[in-house]
Chains A and B, each alone.
Chain A
Amino acid sequence: MSLRLEGIVLEVAGRPVVALPELTVPAGEVVTIMGPSGCGKSSLLACVSGSLDPAFTVRGRVLLDGRDLAGLAPERRGIGILFQDDLLFPHLSVGENLAFGLSPEVRGRAARRAAVERALEECGLAGFAGRDPATLSGGQRARVALMRTLLSRPRALLLDEPFGKLDAALRGQIRTFVFEHARDAGLPTLLVTHDPDDAAATGGPVVVIDGVSP
């Protein structure tokens, strides 16, 4: 598995806004994109995940395992995302949030329930299936959000400043948790951040962009 970005340039009304050098993210590795806020980092991730605002024109190609993703709907890409907010669905229980993520390839009620239970144990929240996500701590919510994404069996992972809202103590802990799981799952991972500590913690290459401001 690998994620490859070939000469990506995002344009608005014919003017380039962001440009990214040729980039390959191998399986199990984390590549960091850094830059000040407003430089178009989030638009780059939206381009990879397929939810870019139609006002943008995209040059270049996004390849996942050698397949060009152009024109594919977000849900067909097999690319999981974690945002700064955990975005657990507030109307579902913790277990239902995980079941929502769990790949449809896991069939049968018992098998699906077991998969959800395993994921909860995996993130140290065994027995939390029936809980309201609103009653969880920030760290617990972040872990559930990662598990929900992993259960959907993505083939690459995007991290959009996912540690930005956590306090310093929790930050390192969740960071390690996320990176370890991404590595174990062999996912090519693209991290966008403006925090140098995040970049250092990946142990992988860092690409700095400053945006091509109009």
Chain B
Amino acid sequence: MSAAHRLIPALTVAVIVGPVLVGLLGTVLPAFGVHPGLDGVGPGLDAWRDLMEAPGLATAVRLTVTTAFAATLLSLALAAGFCAAWHGSPWFARLRRLLPPLLAVPHAAFAIGFAFLVAPSGWLVRLVFPWGTGWTQPPDVALIQDPLGIALILALVCKEVPFLVLVIVAALGQTRADAMLAAARALGYGPVTAWLLVVLPPVYRQVRLPVLAVLAYSLSAVEPALLLAPTAPPPLTPLVLRWFADPDLALQFRAAAGAVLQLAIVAASIALWLAAERPVVAAGRWRIAAGRRGGPGRPVRLATGGAMTLAVAAVVGAMAVLAVWALAWTWRFPDALPDRWSTATLAAAWPELAVPAGHTLLVAGLATGLALVLAVGCLEGARRGRAAAPHRVLLMIHLPLLMPAVGFLFGVQVALVAGGLDGTLAAVVWVHLLYVLPYVFLTLADPWRSFDERYERTARGLGVGPLTVFVRVRLAMLLRPLLTAAAVGFAVSVGQYLPTLFAGGGRVATLTTEAMALAAGGDRRVVAVYAFAQGALPLVAFVLALAVPAVLHRNRKGMHAG
């Protein structure tokens, strides 16, 4: 084991950072006219000239930046405002338990369900409006794919707020928040003001990386942008994907330049965000110097409570509308529910659905298993190494969370083709691992580090060998976080769209790639079957991750704490 604990962290960093670097190189070189597979136009700036003249580029960039900043700011304001206003209330605890499954709903299933809810012919119009309007036709208004990207922003917020609330809650546990809050309130500060001035600053320092990941994701989101953003032109990522998919191979160079531009936009946006923290901090200090106490915060409670309810309802509603459509036979506008129900769509879809469902399970199972082994190996290595250096190196495994997918997946594909690996299961699993591992690691790190070492010392003192202690004491006691991490990893893998598409070369079809392909214009009922199956798989994984330890430890009160 002593060799393994030094080897695994190094191996992990190589497995994650290697493809990212190779992918970056494989994207940047074509952007400057060098492509191993195509007859390059020779090193030069032609691709950039072509990109700058591409129709709609300026609008696409503006749309990308405005929607991403709006979504990130709204998400952070809502998540922090909700935590500030509802800290310590029983609703806060209840919502916390609801968030992980909401977070597990993949972006593709949610975006499809969101479109089915909000579109002019969607469920909301059907449920709410007929009494008031007497419409017999869907209204001719752009409720999704609106020119400002409002539908995209709202959908991003619905998925990002649960994530941010969960990371804030995790950070609260490490910052003595309750004691600080009590001290500030004893000095006369209202609950919301106290939370924002005293709890948020140390918490924000802990959640800065997740916030930046949210910003990076919003800038380069694929599934919601393809389904909910305007199309003429779309934001930058869908535009670049259009060029990549174009049969005219000359467009590959323009696409590569676009992907590099996307990378630059993400880097510049992160820099802008970090720079903008300063004036916000200055405003906070100015507010503290003035000493105003703030009121009981009822408006903030109402506003954040209402907005949070809407966000939760949107995710639950998206899954519900998929279930209804999957079981609908005929559903005329503006009826609130189908007039005829049937399982015929399900039955007809099953034979074709079985293959991508099998791929989805296989890839998610393999990627999650590998990620667990590597994450456990890294955490053990870091623990036994007792050095700061491996910790800092390990931070690099979060790189894929900050990188826009189009920025390096194109290069990964070029490398896979060159190595004859494209379209293989191994390639898909490896690329999934880039996204699964960071999340598994993040989920497992805290329980692993806070494990009481005295259990292990006690067991060793009883004359038991290190490997047995590791398995029978450490792994056994950490079963619940291990299974939670596995469920998170599984959900992340099931949700992957672009990585599957690029590494699978169109030959490894999963529920996600099928649902997205059908969503472009398929029968709503069939789309709903695929999207619901994609959305339900992670939920099943989360139920199992909760149920297995609950059953195994039903007579072990000590294993239910925390």
Please list the residues of chain A having a beta carbon within 8 angstroms of any beta carbon in chain B: 49, 51, 73-76, 78-81, 83, 85, 87, 89-92, 96, 99-104, 106, 109, 112, 148-149, 152, 154
Partner of B186, one of A79, A89, A91, A99: A79
In contact, A89 and B198 (Cβ under 8 angstroms): yes
Query: In the bound complex, how far is the Cα of B293 from the Cα of A183, in angstroms?
Result: 26
Q: B96 at the A/B interface (Cβ < 8 Å)?
A: no
Q: B289 at the A/B interface (Cβ < 8 Å)?
A: yes
In contact, A74 and B182 (Cβ under 8 angstroms): yes
1/0 contact trace for B171-192 toward A, CB 8 Å? 0000010011011111111110
In contact, B201 and A51 (Cβ under 8 angstroms): no
Chain B residues within an 8 Å CB radius of A101:
187, 291
In contact, B187 and A85 (Cβ under 8 angstroms): no
Query: In the bound complex, how far is the Cα of B188 from the Cα of A101, in angstroms?
Result: 8
In contact, A78 and B291 (Cβ under 8 angstroms): no
- Report the minimal beta-carbon distance from B87 to chain A, rounded to whole angstroms: 12
- Report the minimal beta-carbon distance from A150 to chain B, rounded to whole angstroms: 10
A-B contact pairs, 17 of them (CB 8 A): A75-B185, A75-B187, A79-B186, A87-B183, A90-B202, A91-B201, A91-B202, A92-B285, A92-B288, A100-B184, A100-B187, A100-B198, A104-B188, A104-B292, A106-B291, A109-B289, A152-B188
Query: In the bound complex, how far is the Cα of B182 from the Cα of A189, in angstroms?
Result: 18
Q: Knowing that A75-B293, A104-B291, A112-B290 are A-B contacts, what are 16 other residue pairs whose CB atoms are under 8 Å apart, sorted by A's residue number? A: A73-B296, A75-B185, A75-B186, A80-B186, A81-B186, A85-B179, A87-B179, A89-B184, A100-B187, A101-B291, A102-B291, A104-B290, A104-B292, A106-B291, A112-B289, A149-B186
Chain A residues within an 8 Å CB radius of B189:
75
Q: B197 at the A/B interface (Cβ < 8 Å)?
A: yes
- Report the minimal beta-carbon distance from B154 to chain A, rounded to whole angstroms: 33
- Number of B residues whose C-beta is below 8 Å from A? 26
- Report the minimal beta-carbon distance from B189 to chain A, rounded to whole angstroms: 5
In contact, A81 and B289 (Cβ under 8 angstroms): no
Chain B, Cβ-Cβ closest to A84: B179
Chain B residues within an 8 Å CB radius of A148:
187
Query: In the bound complex, how far is the Cα of B185 from the Cα of A149, in angstroms?
Result: 11
Q: B194 at the A/B interface (Cβ < 8 Å)?
A: yes
In contact, B183 and A83 (Cβ under 8 angstroms): yes
Query: In the bound complex, how far is the Cα of B188 from the Cα of A103, in angstroms?
Result: 8
Chain B residues within an 8 Å CB radius of A103:
188, 291
Given contacts A96-B289, A104-B293, A81 and B191 within 8 Å (CB-CB): no
In contact, A83 and B291 (Cβ under 8 angstroms): no
Chain B, Cβ-Cβ closest to A113: B289
Given contacts A87-B179, A99-B288, A109-B289, A73 and B201 within 8 Å (CB-CB): no
1/0 contact trace for B187-213 toward A, CB 8 Å? 111110010011001100000000000
Chain A residues within an 8 Å CB radius of B290:
104, 112
Please list the residues of chain B having a beta carbon within 8 angstroms of any beta carbon in chain A: 176, 179-180, 182-191, 194, 197-198, 201-202, 285, 288-293, 296
Chain B residues within an 8 Å CB radius of A79:
186
In contact, A74 and B186 (Cβ under 8 angstroms): yes
In contact, A75 and B188 (Cβ under 8 angstroms): yes
In contact, A83 and B179 (Cβ under 8 angstroms): yes
In contact, B186 and A49 (Cβ under 8 angstroms): yes
In contact, A87 and B185 (Cβ under 8 angstroms): no
Chain B residues within an 8 Å CB radius of A92:
285, 288
Query: In the bound complex, how far is the Cα of B278 from the Cα of A28, in angstroms?
Result: 44
- Report the minimal beta-carbon distance from B184 to chain A, rounded to whole angstroms: 7
Chain B residues within an 8 Å CB radius of A83:
179, 182-183
Query: In the bound complex, how far is the Cα of B289 from the Cα of A101, in angstroms?
Result: 9
In contact, A78 and B188 (Cβ under 8 angstroms): yes
- Report the minimal beta-carbon distance from A164 to chain B, rounded to whole angstroms: 14
Chain A residues within an 8 Å CB radius of B201:
91
Query: In the bound complex, how far is the Cα of B184 from the Cα of A148, in angstroms?
Result: 10
Chain B residues within an 8 Å CB radius of A85:
179
Partner of B182, one of A81, A91, A100, A109: A81
Chain A residues within an 8 Å CB radius of B288:
92, 96, 99-100
Chain A residues within an 8 Å CB radius of B187:
75, 80, 100-101, 148-149, 152
Closest A-B pairs by Cβ, 6 of them: A91-B201, A74-B185, A87-B183, A152-B187, A81-B186, A75-B185
Given contacts A87-B180, A91-B202, A100-B288, A73 and B185 within 8 Å (CB-CB): yes
Query: In the bound complex, how far is the Cα of B292 from the Cα of A102, in angstroms?
Result: 9
- Report the minimal beta-carbon distance from B295 to chain A, rounded to whole angstroms: 9
Query: In the bound complex, how far is the Cα of B292 from the Cα of A109, in angstroms?
Result: 12
Chain B residues within an 8 Å CB radius of A102:
291
Point out which of B180, B183, B288, B289 has the most chain A C-beta atoms below 10 A from its C-beta: B183
In contact, A75 and B190 (Cβ under 8 angstroms): yes
In contact, A99 and B182 (Cβ under 8 angstroms): no
Query: In the bound complex, how far is the Cα of B436 from the Cα of A53, in angstroms?
Result: 40
Chain B, Cβ-Cβ closest to A81: B186
- Report the minimal beta-carbon distance from A112 to chain B, rounded to whole angstroms: 7
Query: In the bound complex, how far is the Cα of B187 from the Cα of A10, in angstroms?
Result: 25
- Report the minimal beta-carbon distance from A152 to chain B, rounded to whole angstroms: 4
Query: In the bound complex, how far is the Cα of B181 from the Cα of A81, in angstroms?
Result: 12
Query: In the bound complex, how far is the Cα of B187 from the Cα of A149, in angstroms?
Result: 6
Query: In the bound complex, how far is the Cα of B187 from the Cα of A89, in angstroms?
Result: 13
Chain B residues within an 8 Å CB radius of A99:
288-289, 291
Chain B, Cβ-Cβ closest to A101: B187
In contact, A100 and B188 (Cβ under 8 angstroms): no
- Report the minimal beta-carbon distance from A179 to chain B, rounded to whole angstroms: 19
Chain A residues within an 8 Å CB radius of B292:
104
Point out which of B179, B180, B185, B296 has the most chain A C-beta atoms below 10 A from its C-beta: B185
- Report the minimal beta-carbon distance from A119 to chain B, rounded to whole angstroms: 13
- Report the minimal beta-carbon distance from B208 to chain A, rounded to whole angstroms: 14
Chain B, Cβ-Cβ closest to A152: B187
Query: In the bound complex, how far is the Cα of B186 from the Cα of A59, in angstroms?
Result: 22
Query: In the bound complex, how far is the Cα of B189 from the Cα of A80, in angstroms?
Result: 12
Chain A residues within an 8 Å CB radius of B296:
73
- Report the minimal beta-carbon distance from A163 to chain B, rounded to whole angstroms: 17
Chain A, Cβ-Cβ closest to B205: A91
Chain A residues within an 8 Å CB radius of B179:
83, 85, 87
- Report the minimal beta-carbon distance from B254 to chain A, rounded to whole angstroms: 47
Chain A residues within an 8 Å CB radius of B183:
81, 83, 87, 89
Query: In the bound complex, how far is the Cα of B289 from the Cα of A96, in angstroms?
Result: 6
Chain A, Cβ-Cβ closest to B90: A54
